[in-house]
Structure 1
Amino acid sequence: MALNLTVKVHPVVLFQIVDAYERRKAESLRVIGTLLGTAEKGIVEVTNCFCVPHKESESQVEADLTYGMDLYDLNHRVNAQENIVGWWATGNEVTTHSSVIHEYYVRECNNPVHLTVDTTLTNTTRMAIKAYVCVPLGVPNGKQGSMFTPVKVQITCYEPEVVGLQLCSKTQLPSHIQASGMKSSGGIEPMMDLAQVSEACSKLSLMLEQVLAYVDDVLAGKQLPDNQVGRALLDMVHSVPKMTSDQFDEMFNSNVKDLLMVVALSQLIKTQLQLNEKLTLLTTL
């Protein structure tokens, strides 16, 4: 396997791993499971996962592989595009039993990925996420072995996941409240579509101001230029279609009208369903 492999992990996978770790049995030191997703052209995209029950001691490890395959078959019926791409385990390192578990996944998919997630947060406030591939070692006609070699890991999101993450970030208490041990007084309700558009525009305006301030500082010699930042800015400018202010206003207003129409239709459908539910309830009385 090429070591320039990139593993892209979606946030829902991390949430499921943390949830499985929180629900583990008291005697379990770590939790393992199967990674689902797609693998193509040096990129493994992990979009889903599930937990596999197992027992682990210093001398042996046992896993309920039948349960794992049954769960995979059920998931495959719902989403046929998600295939087994590897396995995950909680903890910050590869253990002595990892090679035994990895041998099973070698039979289930080609070049499986091993993902470790440190859910203990012992030495840091951020989860350490690492990915490995198993590389065979040895000489011809000699003793063979294997070694887990780290590969690049990226966190990637679909657009709906970004909205969910933004909503989750609003439920986090400030640091001074966390230190005092206080709990949140209530939940966070999702914003309306127009409110999300307004908030996104405010954030975009703030980021543009930061970029302009950086460019002005570089031109004035107050800050050293960064070639990587310059290339990113150039790609960003080229990705924006060239249009006049009138053309942009027309496009923006058209999209806002479409959004308002969708909001109005959704409210009408919601009202109709509520009326239908009440009429059905009245007829049954």
Structure 2
Amino acid sequence: MALNLAARVHPVVLFTIVDSYERRIPDAQRVIGTLLGIIDKGAVEITNCFCVPHNESNEEVAVELDFAKDMFELHQKVNPGEGIVGWWATGHEITDHSLLIHDYYSRVTNNLTNPIHLTVDTTLHGGRMGMKAYISVSMGVPGKTPGTMFAPIPVETVSYLPEIVGEKSKFSRNRLVDPTTDLQLISEASQNIESTLQVLLGSVDGNIFVSAY
């Protein structure tokens, strides 16, 4: 996949990542998971994600791959249009184990030869929640053992219309709504019924002869 690839992230993805970080097990260094989405005109649109349990230390990393597989199969039953497009991790930097995890996702991504690696800085390093996207590229001297490095790609947030409405409601300063009492609801319903009856009575001719058979 060329380096001109771009990533578009939906708000629900960021909310899920932050929620997974807040629910992490004690002493966990970071949280990782699978990215789901679609490929559209040279861009990867990331529309969903889920957390994948893993254990990580300075020496090794162990990811519950069976869990990741089962979760993806469940997502496919709900939304078969979403495929695996990469993986995410919390934190502001790439670790030594990132290449190992990336290698797994390079084998399970759908219609994408180079998966996206998305990092979200939930620790607010530098005073903000930074978001970066990467793909892996080969490097090295010809004839020698090749290496791999992560190259950054453009990333932006995009929203569907329902997500825009949710965002506006979330960040609106007017968060107070006056509650409506039962008496008010009954009064409004009675007024509506009275208005309807007046319209009906006004349209009825009182001289119509009615007979019973």
TM-score using structure 1 length: 0.59
Pick closer, same or farther for the CA change 1:188–1:34 going to 2, 3 Å: farther
Correspondence list, 1:19-38, <5 A? 19-38=19-38
Residue in structure 2 matching 1:161, options 145, 156, 163 = 163
Deviation at 1:138, TM superposition (A): 2.5
Report the 3-state secondary structure (helix = DSSP H, G, I; strand = E; otherwise coil) of the residue aligned with 2:125.
coil
Summarize deviations over 1:166-200 as a string: whole Å, max 9, x none.
1111379xxxxxxxxxxxxxx766xxxxxxxxxxx
The residue number in structure 1 matching 2:59 is: 59
Larger strand proportion of the pair = 2
The residue number in structure 2 matching 1:122 is: 125
Q: Which has the higher contact order (CA 8 A, sep 6+)?
A: 2
The residue number in structure 1 matching 2:71 is: 71
Deviation at 1:128, TM superposition (A): 0.2
Deviation at 1:27, TM superposition (A): 1.5
Report the 3-state secondary structure (helix = DSSP H, G, I; strand = E; otherwise coil) of the residue aligned with 1:107.
coil
Contact (CA 8 Å) 1:113, 1:131: kept in 2 or not?
yes
The residue number in structure 1 matching 2:183 is: none
The residue number in structure 1 matching 2:11 is: 11
Correspondence list, 1:147-226, <5 A? 147-170=149-172
Report the 3-state secondary structure (helix = DSSP H, G, I; strand = E; otherwise coil) of the residue aligned with 2:27.
coil
Number of residue pairs the alignment of both structures matches: 174
Structure 1 unmatched runs, 5+: 173-186, 190-285
Pick closer, same or farther for the CA change 1:72–1:61 going to 2, 3 Å: same
Larger helix proportion of the pair = 1
Residue in structure 2 matching 1:142, options 126, 144, 168 = 144
Task: Give the percent of matched residue pairs that are identical in Structure 1 and Structure 2.
Answer: 54
The residue number in structure 2 matching 1:233 is: none
Distance in 1, matches of 2:169 and 2:53, equals: 31
Report the 3-state secondary structure (helix = DSSP H, G, I; strand = E; otherwise coil) of the residue aligned with 1:80.
coil
Summarize deviations over 1:181-237 as a string: whole Å, max 9, x none.
xxxxxx766xxxxxxxxxxxxxxxxxxxxxxxxxxxxxxxxxxxxxxxxxxxxxxxx
Moved over 4 A (4+): none
Deviation at 1:140, TM superposition (A): 4.0
Deviation at 1:21, TM superposition (A): 0.1
Contact (CA 8 Å) 1:52, 1:68: kept in 2 or not?
yes
Contact (CA 8 Å) 1:113, 1:132: kept in 2 or not?
yes
Summarize deviations over 1:105-155 as a string: whole Å, max 9, x none.
01112210000000011321x310000000011244421111100000010
Report the 3-state secondary structure (helix = DSSP H, G, I; strand = E; otherwise coil) of the residue aligned with 1:48.
strand
Contact (CA 8 Å) 2:92, 2:125: kept in 1 or not?
no
Contact (CA 8 Å) 1:92, 1:118: kept in 2 or not?
yes
Pick closer, same or farther for the CA change 1:59–1:88 going to 2, 3 Å: same
Contact (CA 8 Å) 2:21, 2:122: kept in 1 or not?
yes
Contact (CA 8 Å) 1:7, 1:151: kept in 2 or not?
yes
What root-mean-square deviation, in Å, do the aligned CA atoms of Structure 1 and Structure 2 show? 1.5
Residue in structure 2 matching 1:112, options 99, 107, 115 = 115
Report the 3-state secondary structure (helix = DSSP H, G, I; strand = E; otherwise coil) of the residue aligned with 2:29.
coil
Distance in 2, matches of 1:188 and 1:21, equals: 29
Distance in 2, matches of 1:167 and 1:36, equals: 26
Distance in 2, matches of 1:127 and 1:39, equals: 25
Report the 3-state secondary structure (helix = DSSP H, G, I; strand = E; otherwise coil) of the residue aligned with 1:29.
coil
Structure 2 unmatched runs, 5+: 178-213
Distance in 2, matches of 1:171 and 1:44, equals: 33
Distance in 2, matches of 1:123 and 1:55, equals: 27
